[in-house]
Amino acid sequence: MKNKKEEDRKLNELTPQLLERLHIMEQNLSRIKTGNAVNEQTIKELDTLISELLVLRSTCVANVINWTKQGYLVEE
Residue 11 lies in a domain: yes
**Based on the structure, what is the number of domains in the chain?**
1
Q: What is the pLDDT of residue 1?
A: 46
Its domain, for residue 17, covers 4-69
Residue 16 lies in a domain: yes
Residue 75 lies in a domain: no
Q: What is the pLDDT of residue 27?
A: 93
Q: What is the pLDDT along the chain (76 residues), one digit of tens a residue?
A: 466 677 666 767 788 888 899 999 999 999 888 988 889 999 999 999 999 999 989 988 888 788 788 777 656 5
Residue 53 lies in a domain: yes
Q: What is the pLDDT of residue 46?
A: 93
Residue 9 lies in a domain: yes
Residue 41 lies in a domain: yes
Which of 8, 3, 1, 16 has the alpha carbon at shortest distance from 64?
A: 8
CB neighbour list of residue 64: distance below 8 Å, 6 or more residues apart: 74
Residue 76 lies in a domain: no
Dihedral sign for Cα 67, 70, 74, 76, please.
negative
Whether the model pTM is above 0.85: no
